[in-house]
Amino acid sequence: MGLELYQNTPEARAVFDQADEQLGFALSTLCFEGPEDTLTDTVNQQPALFVTSMAMWQRMQTQGWELPDYMAGHSLGELSTLTAAGALSFSDGLRLVRQRGELMKAAGEREPGAMAAILALDIPTVKAICEQASDNNGSVQVANDNCPGQVVISGDDTALTRAMALAEEAKARKVVKLPITIAAHSKLMASAAVAFAQAVDATPIQAPNVPVIANVTAQPLTTPDQIRDELKAQLTAGVAWTDSMNYLLANGVDTFVEVGPGDTLLSFMKRIERKSNRVKLTFGENL
């Protein structure tokens, strides 16, 4: 991940080198060579995704890309976005990302949970299913409203299993349990959220150079206080991605550029608004 970018662009290479120095180990080597099981450990995966995205962003700046009218980032990507928008320094952004991964892993080990993807049910139906499946012994909630027909739920394993069965009864096209025990964006991340809030409060935050659409509220973040509140809430609240993109569409945005590994967000955008202009930047020659 990111090797071609590192090899061909000095600006991107400087980002990886700075991250290696700050973290005290060769994250760049892990990104480029693995091993895969070490890279996909959330403690490493979150910084790897952050640094690769920021390397691409730095390359864009040196090529003269203008700032967009708005920015948005999905889950972890919200921290990348806030850094790109100037609300966080690269050093502080990386530190928060690393802490986020460590805290989420610890919370997942302390209170293991589960996540599942549900296809072809609308969001009101999935929310109702989560409410029905939750009880005093465990809860499940919407973690990611990615696009029409694709919702991810998260929470206690028993409650999630009940929700999966209810989704199948409701004629979901597909219900897939994800191979993880970290129940991201759920109440099981409460202990991580408390510690992460302390880290956020200790971090300098500036007003962003452009509005950043919040995961939790799908509204623009324009002040340091709004950003702090968002980051504190994000670990236990769902990502309202469909609402976020609809906010942008309602405010005249018609071109969406995805920065970072993969094109998942553009695939969501295709489901949200097929007529939107979608631009994918790669690590290669068209960056």
As annotated, the active-site residues are 75, 185
Cα 79 off chain centre by: 8
Enumerate domains of the chain plus CATH numbers. 3-108+188-280 (3.40.366.10), 113-180 (3.30.70.250)
Residue 281 confidence (pLDDT) = 63
Select from 238, 123, 119 the least CA-distant residue to 168.
119
Residue 272 confidence (pLDDT) = 96
Cβ neighbours around 273 below 10 Å, total: 17
Residue 282 confidence (pLDDT) = 53
* Helices vs strands, H then E, count in the chain: 13, 9
Residue 212's beta-bridge partner residues?
Answer: 71, 221
DSSP state of 189: G
Select from 66, 189, 166 the least CA-distant residue to 116.
166
Distance CA 81, CA 105 (A): 22
Residue 284 confidence (pLDDT) = 41
Concatenate the DSSP letters of all residues of 23-92 into one string.
HTS-HHHHHHH--HHHHTSHHHHHHHHHHHHHHHHHHHHHTTPPPPS-EE--TTHHHHHHHHTTSS-HHH
| Residue-by-residue pLDDT tens, the chain, 287 positions | 888 889 988 999 999 999 999 999 999 999 999 999 999 999 999 999 999 999 999 999 988 999 999 999 999 999 999 999 999 999 999 999 999 999 999 999 999 999 999 999 999 999 999 999 999 999 999 999 999 999 999 999 999 999 999 999 999 999 999 998 899 999 999 999 999 999 999 999 999 999 999 999 999 999 999 999 999 999 999 999 999 999 999 999 999 999 988 889 999 999 999 888 988 765 443 44
Q: Residue 125 contacts by C-beta under 8 Å, 6 or more apart in sequence?
A: 170
